Every structure is written in structure tokens, then in C-alpha cells.
């Protein structure tokens, strides 16, 4: 299978056709080998228009959702980004293409180890990863220019808002266990601006400031 061609096709038919227009995001999606972030038996499906299982009842998100959330974050090359929910590490790699440094947190140790192995192999050396409850954020490394939560929360975790830099952007799905609204929150000098951007469906964000176990 010609995976480079598959990526070109994915970008044209799933992303550009649906309005993703940030050229840096599109370039990252054309470059990162998504098929290397799933198990071998699923590699030929990796560029399909859907999420795929990655074990532990978790998923690698649909390509469009990855692009949509990344575009919302308006990442520039000097940005420091926090990601909650490393999963397969695919979204992490997209962020690592765009930002100066990516801090990523995953609560399932086995997923984190495998994701970090892939990221190291692909030479994403600007990624720092840890296993913990990401709803607490990573206060020692904050504030962050952008924060992305790749699991559905019952409400916006307050520590994540507090770890946004002035001008920083937070993308987080908020809703019930079955459907959420993707929220974009921007921190201004004296307030937070919260904009709902559309519906989505993610696995649960489990933690102190998320869902119970």
C-alpha cells in the first residue's frame, strides 16, 4: 500500500473538503505516518475517515477530529503545548510538528510507553511525556500557549484554564458520556472567552477534575 498517497487522499477528501485550511496543519497531516500509530493488522485502515481501537478500550481519533482540534489551537513554532490523553501518540506527533515543545500526559501506562517508543523512533525529540492524571495539568511546566484535551470531560477542568498563558488557547470536548461539544477557550488579560465549536464524541476523561473511575 502506498501510504504517502493514502495521506494525500486523506488530506484532500477528509480535511480540505471539510474546510480545514491551516496550511501548517495540513502539511503536518500529510507528513506524519498515521499507520505506524496503530497495530499492524489495522495499518491499511489507518487513513480511513474514522477512529480505530488502540487497546485498553481507547481509540486513535478520526483524522478530521485531530485536524479540527489542532487548527483551533492556532499553534505557532515557538509555542509550548500541553496534551491530555496521549493515546497512540499520533496527535502528539502532529503537535510536535507545529510547536517548539509538547508536554503530553496519559493515565494508562502501557499506552504511554508504546506511544513514547513510537515518537522516539520517529525522532520527535521535542516531546516530554508522563503517566498521571492529566486533569491536574502539569503546573511545574506551565503556563502553556495551547492545551488540548483528547477525551470528553463533564466540565472544563479548572487547573487547565489556570495553566493557560495570557492569549493561550484550550480545546476540550465537554458533555455527557455519549456526546460532547468541542469548546475553545481563550485566556485574555482579565477573562476567559468560551466558544462552542461543534459536536463530537470522545472516550471519557477520567480523573479528579473529570469523570470518576
Q: How far apart are CA 39 and CA 50, in angstroms?
A: 15
DSSP β-ladder status, 192-200 and 101-106? unpaired
Residue 118: CA count within 13 A, CB half-sphere:
24
Q: What is the DSSP letter of 61?
A: P
Nearest CA to 2 out of 41, 40, 47, 42 is that of 47
3-class SS at 77? coil
> CB-wise, 57 or 190, nearer to ligand SAM?
57
> CB-wise, 164 or 205, nearer to ligand SAM?
205
Of these residues, 21, 61, 88, 132, which one is catalytic?
A: 61
DSSP β-ladder status, 58-60 and 127-131? unpaired
Q: Write down the least CB distance from residue 165 to ligand SAM, Å.
A: 21
- Answer yes or no: 21 catalytic: no
Q: Write down the least CB distance from residue 11 to ligand SAM, Å.
A: 17
- Write out the residues near ligand SAM by the rule CB under 6 A: 58-61, 84-85, 87-88, 90-91, 105-108, 111, 133-135, 150-151, 202-203, 205-207, 210
> CB-wise, 166 or 177, nearer to ligand SAM?
177
Q: Write down the least CB distance from residue 111 to ligand SAM, Å.
A: 5
| Catalytic residue list | 61
Amino acid at each position: 500500500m502506498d501510504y504517502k498517497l493514502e495521506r494525500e487522499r486523506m488530506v484532500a477528501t477528509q480535511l480540505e473538503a471539510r474546510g480545514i485550511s491551516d496550511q501548517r496543519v495540513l502539511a503536518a497531516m500529510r507528513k506524519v505516518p498515521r499507520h505506524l500509530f496503530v497495530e499492524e493488522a489495522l495499518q491499511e485502515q489507518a487513513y480511513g475517515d474514522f477512529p480505530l481501537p488502540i487497546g485498553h478500550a481507547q481509540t486513535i481519533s478520526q483524522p478530521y477530529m485531530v485536524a479540527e482540534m489542532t487548527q483551533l489551537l492556532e499553534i505557532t513554532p515557538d509555542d509550548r503545548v500541553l496534551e491530555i490523553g496521549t493515546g497512540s501518540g499520533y496527535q502528539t506527533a502532529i503537535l510536535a510538528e507545529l510547536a517548539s515543545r509538547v508536554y503530553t500526559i496519559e493515565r494508562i501506562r502501557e499506552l504511554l510507553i508504546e506511544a513514547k517508543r513510537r515518537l522516539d523512533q520517529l525522532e520527535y525529540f521535542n516531546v516530554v511525556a508522563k503517566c498521571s492524571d492529566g486533569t491536574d495539568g502539569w503546573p511545574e511546566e506551565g503556563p502553556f500557549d495551547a492545551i488540548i484535551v483528547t477525551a470528553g470531560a463533564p466540565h472544563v477542568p479548572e487547573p487547565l484554564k489556570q495553566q493557560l498563558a495570557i492569549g493561550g488557547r484550550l480545546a476540550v470536548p465537554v458533555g455527557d458520556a455519549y456526546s460532547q461539544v468541542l469548546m475553545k477557550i481563550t485566556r485574555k488579560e482579565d477573562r476567559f472567552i468560551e466558544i462552542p465549536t461543534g459536536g463530537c464524541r470522545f472516550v471519557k476523561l477520567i480523573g479528579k477534575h473529570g469523570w470518576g473511575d
